[in-house]
Amino acid sequence: MEDLKNMHHWSVLAVSCIDGRFVRRINDWIAEQQGNIFDYRTEVGCSKAIIDSVEDRERLFGVIEVAIRLHSIKEIWLIDHIDCGAYGGSKEHDDVESEESFHKQKLDEAAGIIGDKFPELSVTKIYAGWDTIEEV
Ligand SMILES: [Zn+2]
């Protein structure tokens, strides 16, 4: 186990949707990829909060600034998921492929917004399906 009391710096702030069906799986997946220590933030719809809500975006920017200042994070991981109610759910899409490509576009757009504000951070885009979690 890491010496948590003396750890103050790590690389990743992950941002996912609030959807409780996915949070545990996404956390476990990030821990596998990244090691156990990362910052974690939930926003309604993840990419949607960043793209469509000025309030959510500004609040998230504040969290990112804190994560940079206190933890020296270098990466933002944005995680959208299948059947996201914030976007109307899977019923808004013809099939799972078109739903995933919709989220890829939204993640690109959200990553662009984060990148414009924080050019020093790398942004990784991730999509969680029912059985898979993958970088996209
Ligand atoms: Zn969602």
**4 CA to centre of ligand 1 in angstroms:** 31
Model confidence at 35: pLDDT above 90? no
48 within a domain of the structure (yes/no): yes
Model confidence at 105: pLDDT above 70? yes
> What is the average per-residue pLDDT within 91-97?
97
Which pLDDT score is estimated for 34? Answer: 87
Distance in angstroms (rounded) separating the CA atoms of residues 52 and 67:
23
67 within a domain of the structure (yes/no): yes
**100 CA to centre of ligand 1 in angstroms:** 13
> What is the average per-residue pLDDT within 79-99?
98
100 within a domain of the structure (yes/no): no
**85 CA to centre of ligand 1 in angstroms:** 5
**15 CA to centre of ligand 1 in angstroms:** 11
**44 CA to centre of ligand 1 in angstroms:** 6
Model confidence at 2: pLDDT above 80? no
66 within a domain of the structure (yes/no): yes
Which pLDDT score is estimated for 1? Answer: 61
Q: Which domain holds residue 34?
A: 14-71+115-136
pTM of the model: 0.96
Amino acid at 112: G
Q: How many folded domains does the chain comprise?
A: 1
The CA R_g of the chain, rounded to the nearest whole Å, is 15
80 within a domain of the structure (yes/no): no
